Chain A
């Protein structure tokens, strides 16, 4: 049972892992050439996995409890947590769906808005960067402060409490995702390769052509840099905004409800689910980045 979940967490890396494993076998057999990349890949995957397994073993054998000075009630054993997940699959999936819709919806909206803001800032460089710096103050506003405010602001959006709390939560995620994208998109548009702009000028390229042929392609890696910040942030803000939502649904909300009702094992089950969502979304981002930016970096 425990193995199942562990597999789920490392699945995105597993392919790499197997390849690296094979490479090692070959090397040991004295046949193939050393493959530097695969060896690096092996160690980068192996060490974290080993560390995870070590923690898991300490946890299940309760040594971890002794180190942290806690008990099996506050930190339930992994076996029990997995049991709860397996016994409540439909219920958990329903909550996961609500959380993922909010996180992805807010991420997309926030990123698109941020990219457009980046374009605006690039078009008017005199005040553009300063404007973005001011906008970045938004990220300093804690989610716990925005979430209840947006909850109240969206009260009239819909008669259905489920719909309006979804809107409120998505807006919170959107706000947290906008700024990092705006800053990075602006940098992507302006930090061009030396002389590339001069080259375009020598071709007498119009501003539009410069934008489409030079600036947009140049901004792509920066977009992914922004997404690397935004994706985890979107999950976190989705989870936190659920705390304040009117309608009781979502992984974050279940963590809260379980803790209020002193059901710590159930809370931990949802915490694990939240971790899996985060890891999966990040892995999807990394794979997408690898495909889109193939041959562009390094």
Chain B
């Protein structure tokens, strides 16, 4: 009996102690955190505290882009994911004379949904679809949202490309050309048959629903077949020096490198340091005939999880385009912290898909990567806001 009471008392004591500690520890660390609460370059911490100010009042369709950006930036409620995806947003903020700080946005759109973020970053083919559509995982806003397009604002930076190391390209020119030829054939087929392409991608493993995959395919088609000015492009994968130069110029302005040596290298970088169009040109002119391949088994590292963003490669694999040119291709999905630039640089894979700005940063840091094709002809990044 006595032992039982002691046990009971001890259990209660233990429980209270744990709960007190758990409850109490919030306070001291909270204040400690507050002391260091100076906003970093990445995050304006003041933005989330006044949620009441902006809720209930959104924007009207007639509001100018300038008004919306100034209003959202003034409230500190512009969001982006960071990690090298922020430069276009910063360029846009700077264009309208706003400080280039933004809130750290998660990879879902909950922050936009609950008004923590008024002006949220979204890719036309991914997050924008989730915001608008009401299929599984969507937020179902439909037409109740408006967007600001980076291409229209003149701050577009090019995104998904194909790259390898300069050394690999020089040592394996025929492999590179064969890979480009088959990949572009895959992209052409995917853009002509987006629904089928979406199904193929879904079959190879998908992080999202098949509905969203189909939406993504239709949006990616637009990015691949339209340039920053809105003109139609039918040369899949061509490199538009004008758009690339704009990307490089903006990158030089907004990529902040702590390493003085890398910052110096970035400043003096030219287009010749990052791209070589000759492989793509020769591949397209070859008609599918190449000399002996230096390497037949190659791998490509994607920037993100398997999804229609990369449908061209999956279609080329599924339709046997890679086999036709004598290549055995492995597609390696990305996601999380997988650095596609590092994977290619260290030779774990031969080719990679990345954003041009990431390639520029990597080359500034000391890699020697070479862009060999530009798949997306315009920026897919938009800022999305709710309408009243």
Contacts and interface: CB of A to CB of B under 8 A. Distances in A.
A166 B10 contact: no
A289 interface: no
Contacts of A87: 258, 260
A120 B21 CA distance: 15
B62 interface: no
Given A98-B36, A113-B21, A246 B106 contact: yes
A248 B39 CA distance: 10
Nearest to A174: B25
A247 B83 CA distance: 13
Contacts of A162: 33, 36-37, 43, 45
B293 interface: no
B362 interface: yes
Nearest to A87: B260
Contact of A265 (B82, B262, B361): B262
Contacts of B259: 80, 83-84, 263, 265-266, 269
B28 interface: yes
B82 to A, nearest CB: 6
A264 B366 contact: yes
Contacts of A247: 43, 45, 104
A163 B104 contact: no
B261 interface: yes
A116 B32 contact: no
Nearest to A248: B42
A252 interface: no
Nearest to A158: B30
Interface string B346-368: 10000000000010011001110
B7 A260 contact: no
Nearest to A165: B33
Contacts of A116: 17
A157 to B, nearest CB: 6
Nearest to B104: A248
Interface residues of B, number: 52
Interface string A239-273: 00000001111000000111111111110010000
Contact of A101 (B36, B103, B342, B345): B36
Interface in A42-83: 72-74, 76, 80, 83
Given A101-B36, A246-B104, A262 B48 contact: no
Contacts of B25: 105, 109, 167, 170-171, 174
B388 interface: no
B84 interface: yes
A203 interface: no
Given A84-B260, A157-B26, A262 B33 contact: no
B361 A263 contact: yes
A123 interface: yes
Contacts of B29: 101-102, 105, 166-167, 170
Given A84-B260, A88-B258, A120-B14, A73 B367 contact: yes
A176 B48 CA distance: 30
B40 A163 contact: no
A167 B30 contact: yes
Interface in B51-95: 51, 82-84
Interface string A136-178: 0000000000000000000001111111011100110010000
B233 interface: no
User: Could you say which interface size class chain A belongs to?
Assistant: 35 or more
Nearest to A70: B346
Contact of A161 (B6, B43, B83): B43
Nearest to A262: B362
B109 to A, nearest CB: 15
A99 to B, nearest CB: 10
A159 B48 CA distance: 6
A126 B3 contact: yes
A199 to B, nearest CB: 26
B34 interface: yes
Contact of B367 (A165, A167, A246, A262): A262
A263 B40 contact: no
B289 interface: no
B48 A161 contact: yes
A124 interface: yes
Contact of B365 (A101, A105, A127, A265): A265
B297 interface: no
B49 interface: yes
A11 interface: no
B13 interface: yes
A84 B264 CA distance: 13
A133 interface: no
Nearest to A84: B259
Given A73-B367, A88-B258, A167-B26, A248 B33 contact: no
Contacts of A74: 346
A264 to B, nearest CB: 6
Contacts of B51: 159
B17 A113 contact: yes
A274 to B, nearest CB: 15
Interface string A97-121: 1100110010001001100110010
Interface of B: 3, 6-7, 10, 13-14, 17-18, 21-22, 25-26, 28-30, 32-34, 36-38, 40, 42-43, 45, 48-49, 51, 82-84, 103-104, 106, 257-262, 337, 339, 341-342, 345-346, 358, 361-362, 365-367
7 contacts: A87-B260, A124-B6, A126-B3, A158-B30, A162-B45, A263-B262, A265-B261
Q: What 9 A-B pairs are tightest by C-beta distance, nearest first?
A: A166-B33, A262-B362, A73-B366, A163-B33, A170-B29, A262-B341, A263-B365, A124-B10, A162-B45
Given A72-B366, A262-B341, 9 more contacts: A84-B260, A116-B17, A120-B14, A166-B32, A171-B22, A248-B40, A249-B36, A260-B84, A261-B365
